[in-house]
Amino acid sequence: MTSTKGYAALSARAALTPYAFERRALRSDDVGFRIDFAGICHSDIHQVREEWGKAIFPMVPGHEIVGTVTSLGSAATRFRIGDRIGVGVFIDSCRECRNCLNGLQQYCWEGMTGTYNGYERNSKDVALGGYSNYFVIPESYAYKLPENLDMAAMAPLLCAGITLYSPIKKWTLVQIAELLLLVLAVWGIWE
C-alpha cells in the first residue's frame, strides 16, 4: 500500500477537500506512477454533483492523468522507471471478450472499469482518480507518452482530446459535415 494525497468530494456537491488514502500494492502486471498533472473534465463536475445518478463518496475525480513511472510490478514490461505515462477514463476491463481482444476495451461487453466513481475490477475497493499524487494501474491500460510534448498540455488529450479525435479519425470530415447538415435539416423541419 502507498500513502497517497488527493482531493475528494466527501458528499454530493461538496467542495473538494484534501484527502489522504492508500493506493493498493502493485500486482505483478501493475505500474505505479507519480501524478504530475490531471486535467479537469466537465464530467468530473457532473459526477461530483451526482448529476449522472447515484455516485460513490468520498470521490477523488480525475481521468486525464499524466505522470512519471516510479515503480513496476514483477511481470510488467511495457514501461521503465522515469517513463512518461498517461491514463484516461478507464483502468481495466474483462480482457476476454471480443472487443477487449480487438483493442476496443472501452466497449468491453462487461463494461469498462472507470477510473473513479466505481469499483476496481473484481474488487470492493473504490476506484479513486487522478486528483492525487500517486496512481496504480495494470500496465496495458496506460499509455506511453512522448518525451517531447508538454506534459500539462497532454493531460486533456486523454479524455476531451480523444473524444473529438476519435470520430474525426473514424469518419471523414465530409461524413461529419453531412451529419451536421442532416441534424440542421431535421431541426429546420421541426421548427
Rule CB under 5 A: which residues touch Zn ion? 41, 43, 93-94, 97, 100, 108, 159
C-alpha closest to that of 91 among 116, 62, 110, 66: 116
Angle of CA points 124, 126, 132, to nearest 5°? 150
Distance separating alpha carbons of residues 106 and 180, to the nearest angstrom: 25
| Segments of 96-142 assigned E as strands | 113-114, 134-138
The nearest distance, CB 82 to Zn ion, in angstroms, is 27
Q: How far is the CB of 178 from Zn ion (least distance, A)?
A: 27
**What's the Cα-to-Cα distance from 105 to each of 53, 116, 117, 139, 165, rounded to whole Å?**
23, 17, 18, 14, 17
CB of 95 to Zn ion, least distance (A): 6
Q: How far is the CB of 72 from Zn ion (least distance, A)?
A: 25
Q: How far apart are CA 123 and CA 91, in angstroms?
A: 13
Nearer to Zn ion, 4 or 47 (CB): 47
Measure the CA–CA gap between 35 and 122, rounded to whole angstroms.
Answer: 25
CB of 125 to Zn ion, least distance (A): 20
Q: Give the nearest distance from C-beta 108 to Zn ion in angstroms.
A: 3
User: Toward Zn ion, which CB reaches closer, 72 or 108?
Assistant: 108
Task: Please count the other Cβ atoms lying within 10 Å of the Cβ belonging to residue 143.
Answer: 17
- Judged by DSSP in three states, 138 sits in strand
Q: Which is nearer to Zn ion, 128 or 159 (CB)?
A: 159
